[in-house]
Amino acid sequence: MQFEMMIPCLFGVESFLSRELKSIGINVTSVEDGRVCFLGGYEEMARANLWVRTGERVLIKVAEFHASDFDTLYNGVRNAPWGELLPKNAKIPISGHCLKSKLSSSPRCRAIIKKAIADAVGEKYGITHMPEDGSEYQIRFSLLKDRVTVSIDTSGESLHKRGYRQLSNAAPLRETLAAAMVYLSRWRYEDVLADPFCGSGTIPIEAAMIKRNIAPGLKRSFAFEQFDQFPKGLLETLREEAVSLEKDVPLNIIASDINPEYVTLTAENAKKAGVGDFIHPITADAREFASTISGGTIICNPPYGERLSDKEECAALYADFGKAFARLDNWSAYILASSDEFQKDFGKTADKTRKLYNGMLQCRVYQYIAKRTRG
């Protein structure tokens, strides 16, 4: 059976997500703001969940239409092929949101969508009531400017939850965004990689997993494993294939932070992720970052500073870090920051900038690209 599926993502990472899907043999059908769509069956569904680093969850798109009244909402959902996707006793919890739509009541939309699905399944199986005592199929909906999208969540917990970060620092960077920054940097595994603001180690760990081709979903479970129709043994086969595709490449990754507790946290998380041997956690002040090595790459997410006093401290931190970077020999840097004044504070104009969102916060990756001589 073939489905139309979609993967929502943070704004700004759509091109990376599309590239990831194509690299694992998946047919991308569209790239839109905040999501990428593709066609496939259960194997493609499982493969995407297992391998995607920059997407948030894999959804089966069951219905998509415009509705400005509740009758149209009911009919649009009722006419979708729920009987082909759900067993007659499926548990169908409904979650979703309405934004800038005439139908502004999420609870009422939830109730109508549930009734429409139950009626469709009832017609398929000749029943008048869904017992909901079987496997769970989480239904998600969104109404954005009267555009309705209703889907089945195949992932469960968001895909950024890889399973290695049980604990984190106060302001952790989402794994999906960290992976996008690594892709953006085009870091070569032969080069030293450094994160002088490592926090809980997300950027170094994602970088190591990318370069060693470790599937991000290898150590976690997924909602689709409970689906009645999902082929038995398929996920185990795909996991075994993923392990066989891991690359044995040497890495030199430095993860440093001024807070020793974060350094310990990074070491623990790296070990859980299976990359502890390739990451060197050290306690150090980013303002004193130095290296005798010629040619390296910094990828980091320094503090932003939301309050005025914090912003002043951050501006001083960026200035001192900029001076440290200026002393390095032929290094590149990819720095995520929300401040429009970052380049002035850092003391150097970026070669490129790229807009990315850290949750709802608009940021930019300031890219300082070394002019290297290639043989």
What's the pLDDT tens digit per position in 12-38?
Answer: 999 999 999 999 999 999 999 999 999
- In this prediction the pTM is 0.93
With a cut of 80, say whether residue 237 has pLDDT above it. yes
Rounded average pLDDT over 350-362: 91
Indicate the length of the chain as a whole number: 375
Confidence of residue 360 (pLDDT cuts 50, 70, 90): confident
pLDDT(169) > 70:
no
CA dihedral 233, 239, 243, 244 (to 10 degrees): 50
Q: How far apart are CA 354 and CA 157, in angstroms?
A: 28
Q: Give the confidence band of 1 by pLDDT, cuts at 50, 70, 90.
A: confident
What radius of gyration, in Å, describes the C-alpha atoms of the chain? 23
Angle between helical axes of 234-244 and 42-51 (0-180°, round to 10): 40
Residue pair 173/301 in contact by the 8 Å Cβ criterion:
yes
| Secondary structure (3-state) at 157 | coil
Distance from first CA to last CA of the chain, Å, rounded? 50
pLDDT at position 171 is: 65
Token pair, residue 334, equals 């990819």
Which of 9, 10, 45, 11 minimizes the C-alpha distance to 26? 45
Give helix then strand counts, H and E, for the chain.
Answer: 11, 14
Task: Give the pLDDT score at 170.
Answer: 62
DSSP label of 197:
T
Q: What's the whole-number mean pLDDT along residues 113-129?
A: 96
Mention every residue, 6+ apart, whose C-beta is less than 8 A from residue 17. 7, 9, 36, 52, 54, 55
* Residue 57 clears pLDDT 80, i.e. is over it: yes
84 has pLDDT over 60: yes
308 pLDDT exceeds 60?
no
Say what the pLDDT of residue 48 is: 98
Residue 259 neighbours by CB distance under 10 Å: 13
- What the chain holds in terms of domains, given with CATH numbers, is 3-152 (3.30.2130.30), 175-213+222-368 (3.40.50.150)
Q: 375 pLDDT exceeds 60? A: no
User: What is the pLDDT, as a whole number, of residue 358?
Assistant: 85
pLDDT value, residue 306: 60
